[in-house]
Chain A
Amino acid sequence: MAVAEMEPAVIEGKNSGSPQHRGPGPDAPFSLTQLSFWDRITLWVLTAAAAVLSLWNLTGAPSYQDDEGTYTAQAFAVHSGSLAPYTYWYDHPPLGWIQIAALNWLPTMLGLGDGTAIGATRYVIAAFFVASAVLLYMVARRLKVRIPFAALTTVIFILSPLSLVLGRQIYLDNIGVPWLLLAFYLALSSRDALWHHVCAGICFAVAVLSKETLAIFGPALLMALTYRPRWSNRSFSVVGFLTVGGLILAFYPLSALLRNELFSGSNHVSLQDALSYQFLERSGSGRIFEAGSSRAELLAGWLYFDKYLIAAGLVAAALCLLRKQARVLTVAILSFAIPIVLGQGYLPAMYIIGVIPFLALALGTGVDIAWSGLEKYVRTRPSLRRPLRAAFVAVLCSSLVLMSVPQWFEQDRDLLTAENNANWRQTLSWVQDNISREDVVLAPYSMWYDLNSSGWNDSWTMIATEKPDLDKQFETAHPDGWQEIDWIIVGPSVTANIDSLGLNRAASALQHSTTVRTFGEWSIRRVEAPVRPQANER
């Protein structure tokens, strides 16, 4: 038995480089404590590049979205001891914005984000984006991808407009992704150390509690953990990973149970209701092949931002099948794609965020596999070594240029220079300057927290557009219904939201309003209630 256990360490011993060299040898497993010179340089450069790209013009573009405002408001609500400014209805597990809340005091204190809460919170997300970029390199190195191609992985991740535009916004997926990547990094640890695998379970649980859709990568992660030569304490690793991960995940339903909100019941929200809404009742996005379905539109939107990354990533995912360790990427991308291709339920727009790192990884790994193939070939024909290598590099570079110049360059330049939030900002200050703090105002979530905290400080006087219809407390606060609303602020997404969510009260308010001031797509409208309030409106 002792001899059998000796085997993995002996193999590892061989890999860990000859002792006379300083630092690890070329085949040594990647480890942060034993970084080679080039790894260290590359990591620093990539970190700096990711930081610059994510921070530059962060509050200028893209334009602030309602979801971003929601999570900002919820993060600030955590500071005062609740999970949301309105009733928390288990829309998502709260760990994502709890993490924001743990960090957002820092940019707020430093005065970042043009003095707005949503802007400051974007700086928190930037930290997560940089962490993702760095972890992506680390995971690529753990997958034995050569340094330049591992660097390519991260470069694609930080330059792809799809990744950059979504990665700069306050979405829960952006918080979950670094945890997910860390879980993969730990699961792929070559030391086979039990605590690495237990920590992988912890990280995965944190990722899922940050954004539940990331659970789709569970099978791939389990595969990363087990799909390699057997080691002596494998059963411990798998049991530790599943048990600890599962136990931490269980805290979410546990907290619902403790609040007596696990199961559906009258007069209270519940996790059961939220789940059945998200999975069963929420109007689906249709089939992918149905022209004009919102699923097809969503896909078109993703392709608009970066069709190259998606297409090339999918091809590379197939190429990854050729290398045993890289098959995990194929499985990850496949399991991600299944609900898009086969499903017809609701598909959120940020769903793509989870797979972007895996597409980038597949690309980097795919190139590495091709290079390995080339090396193998030139070994039989040494005379072709130079020309073939040069040709490979030339093809790679030119395809990168072809990919990046027309689409990436333009869109990235937009992101780094455009000022898309000027109207938003002007609307914000106009409302702050001109509307009485006593007036009841309906405002889109993107602006809600910054408005509310500028003097209203009451979520039923400054009200987010959806809440009169979706939160039952509105009826208590405003027995006369929509007629009690004095102002409605209309941003680019308001009418669409009123339609898609069926917001009758907001619609009535909008109908009976007149524009007072307009800034681009934004307008501030005064609601003129009919003289005699209709009692049955409630």
Chain B
Amino acid sequence: MPVSVLASALVVLIALALFAIALSTLYLNTYAWWDPKTQIRTSYSGLQETEACSFSLIMPCRNEREDVMRATLSALLAQTHSRKEVVISVGHDDPETVQTAYKLASEHPDLVRVSVDVSETKNKPRQLNKALSMCRNSVVGVFDAESIAAKELLAHIDSVFATKNADVVQGAVQLINYRDTWYSLRNCLEYFTWFRSRLHAHSRQGFIPLGGNTVFIKRELLNEVRGWDGNCLAEDCDLGVRLSTLGRKIIVAYSPELVTREETPDTLKALVRQRTRWSLGFMQVFAKGDWKNLPTRKMRAIAWWTLMQQHFMAFAGVCIPVAIFAAVWGGFPLVVTLVAFLPLIPTLATIAFDICMLQEFGRDHKFTIIWYDYLRLIVGTPLYQLVLAFSALRALLKFIRRDFGWEKTDHSGAHLSYLEPAAAAPVRP
């Protein structure tokens, strides 16, 4: 008898934990749509008449194809904002890309320079730090090699810095090739909710893991905190955490016309690698413990939850069906079994809202979303959850083995997340 009571209590506890996770996901995903006021608050503030900042844009590249780099660069050079420079950041062990970078720079000698990182270990933060030392303008921005910036982006970012007195502005990135693979639709939508909603919710809570692309930071501040952490796999998230801890003002702005367009990873394997790296990065940031310096207990709790939620979420998708299955076949009292079903309410509601978001995604980017896409979205959800859970598990194993190397994955011959070359020129809708 006591054993069965204990087992019941365990099922209830697990179910309530899963419920909390699913509810938190629902909250974060739908935050931007809470009311029309939130929708406005999360938009850009409108253009100012005069320019207040100047921009140094870092474009980190590794094993990139020339056409991809050229497309990214020309989008940056075509910015309507007048005061800008571009620093193409490459590594000395990647001579082909170095060559392409110099070739591109020579075409615009007054606007584009090349920074070559010569450090032993190769990774994105080290390349960024090297490039930072060459930056001359007041605001530093980062654009991944395979991303296409909107023409008026810098002008709007400038206005946000000016009107909101921001230290950091995070713009939005949107994956758009939603028709290419079974997972790309979910991947695109994931970016959509991340930049349209989740980041805003985090920003409101005062603790925000920044993204690595289309992010703008005051150069002085960046130097003050000694740039990016050269040993962290999620240097972007880490920077956000450190700046949040310092109480710096981080603004997240979204407008569909101003998103930076990117592609989804081109193979499932690449997706898993990317996710593993992100998860591992989050774990690393968590373990580093900068978030423990936050002033209040409440903020530390929020930080803890924000850093852990990623992993929780990945597992929740797998655990909920398992918990329900166990509860139904485990011969538990009816109430216990019903409690095990509770997490399904926020989970299914999240999927229902995903449908609305897909519709809005299509409307914002002028894509025709057909019924088949909605179907794909729903059917793909459990599979995508499995991929996320698998990646999180993989990251956890690597974390336990202290395997933070970039080189290792490089040796395996495949491309690594942001360093992966895009398969084709970035899609323009």
Chain A residues proximal to chain B, CB less than 8 Å: 1-2, 5-6, 8-9, 12, 191-195, 198, 231-233, 235-236, 239-240, 243-244, 247-248, 251, 254-255, 258-259
Contact = CB atoms under 8 A, between A and B. Distances in A.
Given A2-B43, A195-B34, 10 more contacts: A2-B255, A9-B37, A232-B36, A233-B34, A233-B35, A236-B33, A240-B30, A243-B349, A251-B341, A258-B334
A480 B169 CA distance: 84
B338 A194 contact: no
A231 B38 CA distance: 12
B338 A193 contact: no
A536 to B, nearest CB: 38
B35 A192 contact: yes
A2 B34 contact: no
Given A244-B345, A244-B349, A247-B344, A239 B355 contact: yes
Given A191-B35, A239-B353, A247-B345, A259 B334 contact: yes
B28 to A, nearest CB: 13
A192 B30 CA distance: 14
B380 interface: no
A434 to B, nearest CB: 40
B33 A194 contact: yes
B252 to A, nearest CB: 15
Interface string B31-54: 001111101100110000000000
Contacts, number: 75
B338 A232 contact: no
Contact of B35 (A193, A240, A248, A258): A193
Contact of A251 (B44, B338, B359): B338
B364 interface: yes
Interface in B338-372: 338, 341, 344-345, 348-349, 352-353, 355-356, 359, 364
B206 interface: no
Given A194-B30, A194-B34, A233 B39 contact: yes
Given A193-B34, A194-B30, A255-B338, A235 B328 contact: no
Nearest to A248: B345
A243 B35 contact: no
Given A2-B255, A244-B349, A9 B36 contact: yes
Nearest to A244: B349
A251 B37 CA distance: 34
Given A191-B35, A259-B334, A236 B356 contact: yes
Given A243-B352, A251-B338, A233 B36 contact: yes
A521 B227 CA distance: 90
A247 B353 CA distance: 14
Contacts of A193: 34-35
Contacts of B34: 193-195, 233
10 contacts: A5-B40, A9-B40, A194-B30, A198-B349, A240-B353, A243-B348, A244-B345, A247-B349, A251-B338, A258-B328
A247 B342 CA distance: 10
9 smallest A-B Cβ distances: which pairs?
A193-B35, A243-B352, A233-B33, A8-B36, A2-B43, A236-B33, A247-B345, A5-B39, A232-B36
Contacts of A255: 334, 338
B343 to A, nearest CB: 11
A137 B261 CA distance: 51
B47 to A, nearest CB: 12
Nearest to B39: A5
A191 B344 CA distance: 28
Contacts of B230: none
